[in-house]
Chain A
């Protein structure tokens, strides 16, 4: 009951001032073996929101991310992201769709043979930004994440926190309307974790919708943002200014 109430509260509050960025309508996803990874998930995230998605492993968080990125398609239901009906998207339209979403992963996923500048510039190259503008945009975003001096370094020469900032710069350089962060602090120490979270908050203030999947109880509790809690493929709670729910 609590879930329903909080959801109603959010939608009532935001209906007037914002449009929907991510909408899941009765989404289920089953793999060929075992129990469904998601069952009957309904979710609406509005433009400009900052949302945490929390839950244990096996809760369906990863499946949710994969559905939003169109790495997977839902078995039933509808996934809508920034106006795209993601489940029905043709394969050749996927690249263009993905440019709406900046992604940050737990393991950074940088191209390890490329230096910092090239890693970030790559995101601009794929949308065919002229070289002249790339030379302006990349240093600018690197200074936003605090790495202006390290543009020539290779990923392995950087600390985990620095690598995650590079990944963040890459995700943001094309100014996508949505930022997805999948356990962005999973491999970082508390200080670096906080720095990354502060950056995400800054980015959110600039108007970007931010969705963070995380295990980090401390951060979730401290930041007082909307928290969606999942368990065994079902949304068990959705609270504005929520906290990390103890399972047991």
Chain B
């Protein structure tokens, strides 16, 4: 392809967008609407998963030791736990640490009355899990280990969180499927209306001896540009409203602030921008390519 032909094609694509402004507008609006819903949904989903994950990380199993256990054995148990696949982090909390943090948290200045550590037997391991659903396996294992007196776990939290995670998975697949089919339907409709206007134009070009590639290129470029525009618009809108919504939720539901841990907009957009652009351009390309093809057989 000559460079002049390339620029000519590019120019025709751009001109054509403005020439058929209502069709272009309708297409951009359709793609925008779909990608806006997609972006919105993605932002909610990502945050939900993020919140669940943060909560999961907070879930821990605590292990207490039998009386009079030797320090070597404690270290040995610690190593054994660390080697388990379910475990992400193990922290040793000595009796002093436990008492200090208890004092700070609950007693404050009233702690002066205690001369010796009432939590002398409270040295423990705080174990954090990679995946909450594996808590049961770990607990069963820990209970069988010699030297462990007690295993404290939070069964209810673990079950709830893994349940929520699965639910999010199903719901997301469902909504994405619905969104996709709706957008394909809307776009193919819009493109078909737009193309029927130009059926004659395509036929004329073919009579003069234009190749399919030559006829198709401006349409495809037009489709790609419309797709890009259709992706940028919702990205901009989501960017603007995201922080406001997060702020609003934080103020409105202050009680939950420790639980609600929102992702920064940058993290969301690191994924959302490339995916939205790819979807927009892809929809524009495929839509125009396929629809023009139907009219090329002249």
Contacts and interface: CB of A to CB of B under 8 A. Distances in A.
B208 A128 contact: no
B110 interface: no
B180 interface: no
Given A111-B201, A113-B19, A126 B209 contact: yes
B5 A98 contact: no
B203 to A, nearest CB: 8
B207 interface: yes
Interface in A56-115: 69, 71, 92, 95-99, 101, 103, 109-111, 113
A109 B205 CA distance: 10
A98 B8 CA distance: 22
- Chain B, interface SS category: helix
A92 B214 CA distance: 12
B214 A126 contact: yes
B206 A95 contact: yes
B298 interface: yes
Interface in B249-280: none
Interface string A110-150: 11010000000011011110110000000000000000000
Interface in A162-202: 170
Interface in B203-257: 203-212, 214
Contact of A98 (B1, B200, B203, B208): B208
A114 B126 CA distance: 76
Contact of A95 (B8, B204, B209): B209
B210 A95 contact: yes
Nearest to B297: A91
Given A113-B19, A125-B8, A126-B214, A69 B2 contact: no
B4 A122 contact: no
B205 A122 contact: yes
Contacts of B209: 95-99, 101, 123, 126-127
Interface string A211-242: 00000000000000000000000000000000
Given A95-B210, A96-B209, A98-B209, A109 B204 contact: yes
B11 to A, nearest CB: 11
Interface pairs A-B: 10 shortest CB-CB: A98-B209, A99-B209, A126-B210, A95-B211, A109-B204, A95-B209, A131-B4, A128-B2, A123-B208, A126-B214
Interface of B: 1-2, 4-5, 8, 19, 200-201, 203-212, 214, 298
30 contacts: A69-B207, A92-B212, A95-B206, A95-B209, A95-B211, A95-B212, A95-B214, A96-B211, A97-B209, A98-B206, A98-B207, A99-B209, A103-B207, A109-B200, A109-B203, A109-B204, A110-B204, A113-B19, A122-B208, A123-B209, A125-B8, A125-B214, A126-B208, A126-B210, A126-B211, A127-B209, A128-B2, A130-B2, A131-B8, A170-B208
